[in-house]
Structure 1
Amino acid sequence: MSRIAVVGAGISGLTAAYYLSQANHKVTVFDGGERAGGAVQTIRDGSELMEAGPDSLLTSKPAAIELARELGVELVESCSVGAPGIVRKGEIFPLPDGFRLLAPTRFLPFALTRLLSLAGKIRAAAELFVPPSD
């Protein structure tokens, strides 16, 4: 049995540690933060519930679904209670209609949102011309 150190207790580090331990390695996870999870965090403030980090799991990725099932994580549909938004510099910006996984699917709401600057909108639109990676 080999001993392996994983640096980082975010979702990637914890996933690596899980699979290494499943392969009978002795794994130790090191992280500079006060808690595991990295950017993934649920924040409760009174009756408000906020998710920090990724807002969803790509169900088109079979490995992600398989890992969730192995860990006993229940997969549920997105909740439509409240409006999704992003906090930037202390201000809440609602996500424009048609945003899916933070990618615009409708032009007009994307063009009118205050969430992105004009330069940010141009940069996001340029993604349409980036060829897919292999």
Structure 2
Amino acid sequence: VGITEYAERCARAAPPGVALLTGLARALTAEPAVLLLDEPWAGMPPRHARALEVLLRDLAAEGLAVLVVERELEPVLGVCDVLHVLDGGRVIAAGAPAEVRADPRVRDAYRAVTTCRSTAGVAPRRAELQRAPS
């Protein structure tokens, strides 16, 4: 899973992305038929995020079923063959990544979410904006 450089270090001292990849490696030792991931890119540094994308594509190509629940659209676009987007607990779009990304309902749903950066240089955090009444 691309974390051999951390093999001799204490797991508690590992960066968040490495901790997630360590858990993923542990799960893969059981040779599961399905891999379920809940927001795997949350808080992950870009280097490890890219490694996760490549790994998930490789695992799927080897025949492993991978189900990802993710609040951010961008990370899953290059990984998933089929996307289902929910808004308010209802499926608003389903299909190939390019189709889903182009769907106006998806654009409207994601327009309500923005990424903010603190002026103090703190890592990005999500801020949900209230939608205007329809």
TM over 0.5: no
TM value normalised by structure 2: 0.28
Question: For the pair shown, which has the larger CA radius of gyration, 1 or 2?
Answer: 1
Which structure has the highest helix share of the two?
2
Greater relative contact order structure (CA < 8 Å, 6+ sep): 2
